Structure 1
């Protein structure tokens, strides 16, 4: 059955016809990288560079599959390396890491039922792996992940948190969701976000999007998410601040490689015309600041203030 990242377990078990986001909170940690792997990335520049190289390969291999397949493949990569694949990061042979990367992409394509061929994946990029070699690596990855391939990612929680905002205007919902998804893609590349649960990343991305697009309504958005008992407020503040930092850095740089272009284009693929308009205005006008608590609000521009009042009629 095809995997939908927004509803990863829906209709998967015959005894569970509809899986809702609240039921995913207790098991989301099972779909995260192990702590020892996260610690190794925090202390070794070599491991970070190798991970970056693997992600770049995944981006190249999955460029024709769409951003969500790429996201799923990177999730498999991190979970595999944190389970039994740390030896891969210690290999001097780069082809091993390349094989892992293409196998993760292949598995992601199969899970999302995306048509592909290994020839299309590998193109003219040097060493070509045959189907049997990739299949053997796929089985190693499947074993390391304990066959939990229906990954619970931040996308599974986005609609749930948005529903807490009690919004009625479709353009507003689309604008917030599109911007949050864009931030989630950016966060996956940064190793600092591996420590946060998918739900925390989703909540932080939505808060950041709301803060950026509709600052007048931000206190209401913040109270809505903070009211959720499944959200660790301290971790969310930490994740939110980190997300603000990477967004400011990435917004000031021109995409320099295939991975950046792939992530940058994902927002435009899912945005509506209204969402794109709001986002373009925001990037030009907003001056963001890091906040250490939810009592401090970032500065907003006069022009964006008037636009948010037009889109949202009255306080939420």
Structure 2
């Protein structure tokens, strides 16, 4: 994150005159902290680990672009589900690559999966825990690459189905809300249904 406005020196003063700092002192402390951190101030995300897992695939084949994009889609989808906060970025990236390998490279998925798991040096239990969560919450309800290329939904119910797929909340909530909204639309008309949607 970049600081666009430098705060005034008076805003940094806390307490009595005993804690008054000069701009020179603050600059020196900032440089000391950044030097100690070796100027590594960026956050670590699962995207930092995708290359690590993708290039563990067996053989000298080039990695298909669809595999990379599907792994990235899965990582972005994890932002919608709070349960992924319990997992480290490296585990999320590993699980996303394993899921993408199973979807995109279906025939060779067993070979690739064993090659990836044999060559990594991180805790495999964490990756499998995240992988199971990803299979449960994202894969079954979010769009696969084939579905994402389809035409946009033509009916209001199709729009609701697509929105339910994108939300990736849970099986019961998503399925129940779509059926409930569709039933309300048939009984009470489209205006009441829109009011129901705005309440969520």
TM-score scaled by length of structure 2: 0.51
**Structure 2 runs not aligned, ≥5 long:** 12-36, 145-160, 168-200
Contact 1:187 1:246 in 2 (8 A): no
Runs of 4+ in 1 over 6 A off after TM superposition: none
Q: How does 1:143-292 map to 2 (within 5 A)?
A: 149-170=41-62, 172-247=63-138, 248-251=140-143, 253-255=161-163
Aligned length: 123
* SS of equivalent residue, structure 1 residue 231: coil
In structure 2, C-alpha distance between the alignment counterparts of 1:167 and 1:175, rounded to whole Å: 18
Structure ranking higher on relative contact order (CA contacts 8 Å, 6+ apart):
1
- After superposition, the Cα gap between the structure-2 partners of 1:207 and 1:227, relative to the gap in structure 1 and judged at 3 Å, is same
In structure 1, C-alpha distance between the alignment counterparts of 2:119 and 2:82, rounded to whole Å: 26
Q: CA deviation at 1:189?
A: 2.3
* SS of equivalent residue, structure 1 residue 250: coil
**Structure 1 runs not aligned, ≥5 long:** 1-106, 112-116, 118-129, 137-145, 262-316
**Rg comparison, structure with higher value:** 2
In structure 2, C-alpha distance between the alignment counterparts of 1:227 and 1:176, rounded to whole Å: 20
- After superposition, the Cα gap between the structure-2 partners of 1:160 and 1:229, relative to the gap in structure 1 and judged at 3 Å, is closer
Q: CA deviation at 1:165?
A: 0.4
RMSD: 3.5
TM-score scaled by length of structure 1: 0.33
In structure 1, C-alpha distance between the alignment counterparts of 2:112 and 2:86, rounded to whole Å: 24
| Superposed CA offset, 1:228-263 (max 9, x none) | 35222222111111111222223395247xxx69xx
